[in-house]
Amino acid sequence: MLGIALTCWIAYDLHFNTKWDWGPGAGKLPVEIVQGFMSEAYGDGRGVQAAKDYFTPDAKDRNPLSADRKDGPPIRHDTLGVVAQGLSVAVHHCISAAGDDPALNAVDIFRTKNGRIVERTRIAQPAASDERCAMFATAR
């Protein structure tokens, strides 16, 4: 009888507990979630799929038209620094020019929850050129 009650409770909890999330970030640290998103979006050039995989459907992306939200060839970006505290991750990186988007020196601030990105804010300024991005990366 106890076994049946336990099985029913687990089945009920699996069905009605909305906190269950089986995305690629489930069970990972916030910095690993952000690294996964950036690897797929920049390194693989699959920005649309990366956004579906790592952002919640109601995420607040204050830079939704950036190159990392589009599909295309891989985008070179040099990570200059990462700071993680709690559920927030800040990434300072230099992004090479991609399509119509110029090269940027940017700080992306991500907030995560339950293995997904729920918010991103970008602070950016144009980089002089892709060579300038390479210079920043080698100066570290």
Dihedrals phi, psi of 123, to nearest 5 degrees: -115, 120
Separation CA 9–CA 54 (nearest Å): 30
What type of residue is 1? Answer: M
Separation CA 59–CA 20 (nearest Å): 17
Domain regions of the chain by residue span: 26-139
Separation CA 54–CA 33 (nearest Å): 7
Per-residue pLDDT tens for 6-35? 887 777 776 655 555 567 877 899 999 999
CATH of domain 26-139: 3.10.450.50
Per-residue pLDDT tens for 52-71? 999 999 999 999 889 899 99
**Element counts in the chain: helices (H) and strands (E):** 4, 5
Per-residue confidence at 36, pLDDT binned at 50, 70, 90? very high
Per-residue pLDDT tens for 81-118? 999 999 999 999 999 988 888 899 999 999 999 899 99
Residue 58 token pair: 């109601």
Residue 54 token pair: 């790592």
